[in-house]
């Protein structure tokens, strides 16, 4: 290779390294957009979500709460919510989860047998630990399916990390000042101690000629040369030593902490929230995703079985809220703390805005258009293992009372704005 070419290549490499060092922006979110649209639109629908604050100091708490609906049309490719764990999505241990509830029942443990088509209440209390600006989501971990992430909001934590404390009082009234550092030295001593014994045992064998000489000895039928009587004595001594340490350690621990509660491995059951009567029938006629137009269009037949006229106020899916700006009750239902980027300004546009009268059946076309589909990476309906979509529609009567109904069905991607149906 000529010298000139080599210099040019080195120069290019140096430039590339520099660019890759300077250009990338720090990762702020944590992959919530990576989940496939068929999971995000057809499994857990998070709604009525609020965050108690968006600014707190280290040691102060923020409460994230809302409801979740497990869609009836749960995809076949995703494990059913037989065992779930309610958690939080945030970049590392920047906030500490201090309390969590499903239907007001403590949810430190997993919950089992959640029912599809039903609603559950949830609440998560997080305590500020590291100063910074963090994206905080609720997460439902479903066994076999993985983490299903809800909408996230930016939370600003101020103060000094050194001030963070996680005190706790045990059942016996012992006060632990800070769980972060509680008995860390004891744990380290055990880990280091056993590590030391392991390393010593390895060194005992490694100091001798290794693979080839031992293989030669085996070939010559002199297996007796491989393990000497000193090896046997050392092995026996080590066995007695480890056994002694285990027995001594156990008796010491039991003496220091006479009553221990083992780690809890059970799961809890909570019935879903009471089912409200189904007052609207929805029959999906056609759903299409207009790729260049960044628009989801749903044509459905609605039948109002209630005694009140009903207006379509909101369509929500994958954490996005398309709100019909002409319905005041729907606008009022968006908590001021709900992230603005998840409430597209274009809202929900209907082919006819007149309220559905009691007993009336009408075909209405819903148009949810926004760049958020693209930003939230929800446009890959074409490449999904199952081209279906789903969501919730909120109806409001003249008194502002809400009906929640599910809508789901096949979705067809389209690449030009057509006449529709």
Residues found near Cu ion in the complex (CB under 5 A): 29, 32, 135, 152
Q: How many Cα atoms sit within 13 Å of 110 on the Cβ side?
A: 14
| Residue 94 backbone dihedrals phi, psi, to 5 degrees | -80, -25
Tokens found for residue 148: 């299903």
32 vs 36, beta carbon nearer Cu ion: 32
290 vs 376, beta carbon nearer Cu ion: 376
152 vs 390, beta carbon nearer Cu ion: 152
* Residues 6+ away with beta carbon under 8 Å from 212: none
Tokens found for residue 6: 């080599």
- The nearest distance, CB 397 to Cu ion, in angstroms, is 35
148 vs 348, beta carbon nearer Cu ion: 148
- The nearest distance, CB 33 to Cu ion, in angstroms, is 8
CA distance 371 to 338: 18
Nearest to 88 by CA among 1, 144, 171, 153: 153
| Residue 195 backbone dihedrals phi, psi, to 5 degrees | -60, -45
- The nearest distance, CB 325 to Cu ion, in angstroms, is 27
- The nearest distance, CB 272 to Cu ion, in angstroms, is 27
CA distance 184 to 178: 11
- The nearest distance, CB 124 to Cu ion, in angstroms, is 15
Q: Find where tokens 């003249």 sit.
A: 398
CA distance 95 to 130: 7
CA distance 294 to 415: 10
- The nearest distance, CB 81 to Cu ion, in angstroms, is 22
Residue nearest to Cu ion (CB): 135
Nearest to 65 by CA among 122, 135, 136, 7: 122
95 vs 282, beta carbon nearer Cu ion: 95
136 vs 142, beta carbon nearer Cu ion: 136
């Amino acid at each position: 290779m000529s010298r000139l070419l080599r210099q040019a290549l080195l120069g290019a490499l140096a430039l590339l390294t520099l660019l890759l060092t300077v250009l990338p922006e720090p990762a702020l979110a944590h992959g919530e957009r990576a989940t496939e649209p068929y999971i995000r639109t057809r499994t857990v629908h998070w709604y009525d979500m609020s965050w108690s604050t968006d600014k707190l100091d280290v040691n102060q708490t923020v409460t994230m709460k809302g409801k979740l609906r497990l869609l009836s049309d749960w995809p076949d490719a995703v494990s059913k919510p037989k065992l779930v764990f309610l958690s939080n999505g945030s970049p590392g241990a920047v906030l500490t989860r201090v309390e969590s509830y499903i239907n007001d029942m403590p949810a430190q443990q997993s919950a089992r047998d959640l029912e599809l088509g039903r609603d559950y209440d949830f609440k998560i209390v997080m305590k500020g630990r590291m100063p910074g600006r963090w994206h905080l989501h609720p997460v439902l971990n479903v066994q076999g399916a993985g983490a299903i992430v809800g909408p996230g909001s930016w939370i600003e934590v101020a103060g000094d990390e050194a001030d963070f404390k996680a005190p706790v009082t045990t059942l016996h009234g012992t006060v632990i000042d800070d769980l972060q550092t509680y008995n860390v030295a004891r744990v380290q001593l055990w880990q280091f101690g056993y590590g030391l014994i392991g390393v010593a045992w390895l060194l005992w064998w490694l100091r001798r000629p290794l693979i080839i000489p031992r293989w030669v000895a085996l070939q010559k039928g002199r297996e007796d040369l491989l393990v000497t009587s000193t090896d046997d004595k050392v092995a026996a001594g080590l066995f007695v030593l480890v056994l002694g340490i285990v027995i001594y350690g156990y008796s010491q621990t039991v003496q220091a902490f006479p009553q221990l509660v083992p780690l809890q491995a059970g799961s809890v059951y909570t019935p879903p929230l009471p089912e409200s009567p189904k007052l609207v029938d929805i029959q999906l006629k056609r759903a299409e995703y207009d790729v260049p137009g960044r628009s989801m269009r749903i044509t459905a037949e609605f039948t109002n079985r209630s005694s009140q006229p009903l207006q379509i106020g909101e369509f929500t899916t994958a954490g996005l809220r398309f709100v019909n700006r002409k319905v005041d009750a729907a606008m009022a239902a968006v908590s001021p703390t709900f992230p603005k980027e998840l409430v597209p300004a274009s809202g929900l546009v209907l082919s006819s805005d007149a309220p559905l009268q009691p007993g009336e059946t009408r075909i209405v076309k819903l148009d949810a258009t926004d760049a958020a589909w693209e930003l939230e990476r929800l446009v890959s309906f074409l490449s999904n293992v199952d081209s279906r979509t789903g969501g919730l529609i909120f109806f409001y009567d003249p008194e502002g009372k809400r009906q929640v109904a599910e809508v789901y069905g096949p979705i067809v991607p389209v690449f030009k704005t057509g006449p529709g149906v």
